[in-house]
Structure 1
Amino acid sequence: MTKTISVKELAKKIVNREETLILDVRNTDEFNNWKIEGEKVRAINKPYFNLLDGIDPIKGTLKKDQEIIVVCAKGGSSEMIGDMLSDAGFTTVYSLKDGMKAWSEYLEPVKIADLNDGGSLHQFVRLGKGCLSYFIQSNGEAAIVDTARMTDIYKQFAEEQGVQIKHVMDTHLHADHISGGRKLAEEVGGTYYLPPKDAADATFSYTPLEEGNDIMVGNTAIKIQPIYSPGHTIGSTSFIIDGKYLLTGDNLFVRSIGRPDLAGLAEDWVEDLRHTLYNRYKELSDDLIVLPAHYSFAEELGEGGKVLARLGDLYQKNAGLQVDDEQKFRKMVTENLPPQPNAYEDIRKINMGKLSPDQEEQKEMEIGPNRCAIEG
């Protein structure tokens, strides 16, 4: 029997930048669309149906004494191929337990920094989808930004930290993944916040996120300042945390910028996006640390799995911030865009409260990369 490796164990390898060899036995089109990535990850694709008669097609590319992690969609085919490799004398073979379906859901908590008065800021990295959420805690209270659908991890983390989740907020109405914000707020008795301009069609009650209405975590110890910053959506709202960190949602990433087309209004929103990136953020301190809601490239994963950059550095290095000509910028963000996220229209409707698919349907809808960036 092939040994299994959990998604948590694999995540640790990737964020610790360990040499990792993946044998992905899904169909090639599935592999090309979405795969496990990391700075020290080498991924080989060989569809399992090409190996049913034996592993000869891959013998020449693998060494018998190296660690091999076999991956498929749900964990069944990878176990079968793993057994074949083990029978052929490969000594260290693992099957990824529950496959890419589990990989899509795993969240890795990464500490970003200590904050004032004993507080802390953590980034939850969804390695299988490139989504990032944030856990801010101080004096027994916590706030969470851009919560993933899997809410148990946040509740478990809060319990470990000895804090109560009081505030849950989304930077915008997401189109690439199902927000767990409203659900989590209901589960813990917290307040759910949403930008009102993104919530015009919402079927539920919420507390509006508005600039000037700061949110205090832990008896005023940590301040969260909403900054209205439309572009990716008409309601997109950024946050300045503790005066040091800028949560940019899907407007600005480490190596790219957000796309304005996921509500079908790219031509209408492109000027908002440009103003936010070239004016609104430019007015802020260069020393703010940008913490985005997504990443698209394995190279964006820094030490320990952190995804961040200094704002001033992005104005020097991020290609999306170097386009001075307005027409060239408009063309960049409205033409030749990458494919839109899987099921994004239905995901938007779920996040408005208009659809309520069951858990299995929700999992299937989220399979695949996030594709919220211009250079995805």
Structure 2
Amino acid sequence: MGVEPNSIVAAAVPAEIDARAADELLAFARHLDRAASAWLDSLGEDGRRHGRRVGYVLIGTPEYALGMDVLVRSLRAVTDLPILVLAAGGWKPTLRATNLAVLAVPEIVKQDLEGSLAARFRRTLTKLWAFSFVSLDRLVYLDGDCLVRQTIDDLFDGEGFAAAPDLLCNQPHPVFNSGVFALSPDAAMRQSLFASLPATPSFDGGDQGILNAFFGADVTWLPARDNYLRTYEPLMPGAADAARVIHYTAKKPWTPQSESIGDHALLGLDDVWTEKLDRAGLMALVGTWRRAVADSETAANTALRRIEAELVDQRRGAKRLMRRVLLALGLVALLQAGLLVAWLSG
């Protein structure tokens, strides 16, 4: 992986673009396509499969840096086809691989999700930049929390839009998972997607809901092994062995925190992911976990100190209250004694 990447630097890339700004989205999409097309031209036949211009499209952010490193390594172990990495959120990747280019992109932000239950999906629309590349005959998109275990180059041989079902999605109709898909992009599709984005409904508030609504039933269904969600493992133990792509949904293997009770049962798949890290990646993982543990301990200690301080205040308050009660009882006793003396004297 010691090859320098081709960095395609776009001038004045904004940090984000509002999902409702269709004209801005389309203008930047056209810019992306021109930049990628020029790079792919420079690759010659290395950028083609069976005469078609193809490429893998990945999107990464600083939070997914380790995931992207593993994804690129796993891809390069099974394919030599071009990889186009879209760097969002100010991420400056240090990825090294042959036929790999990095292109800075703004995040596509759904502002109307602020404060809602779906707010965690407000930036997932950034993956819609994949629809920019109409100069490609076909592309394959993968989320940054995927691990490729077998070649999936054959996904470039199809037509239209293809994705695997999301077997755990609680919807009344079949739903595909948008973490892996193959696409034959064209200008009309790009125009329609970005122009209709503000009004397109989304059952999850994110890209998966929008893409399912956009394509409807016009989907070629891939087998689950082409996008095997980590969360399938408790229901289909051992099925991951035949998976071509493992998708680490929910808990990420580079984070120490668990998201559900069953996470501990899936550690075997985390080990499969970790095996793809080099020494630098392992050191980064250890450093990330140490900082996470330290932050957790600091937060816990801060909470304990706050509780101790509150208990001290409560004890002091109780003592003050007891003194007041005793003083009041003493005054009552004195008053009663005075009344008794007055009665006896009278």
Kindly indicate which of the two structures has a greater share of residues assigned to strand.
1
- Choose 1 or 2 for highest CA Rg: 2
Greater relative contact order (Cα < 8 A, sep 6+): 2
State TM-score, norm by structure 1. Answer: 0.27
Kindly indicate which of the two structures has a greater share of residues assigned to helix.
2
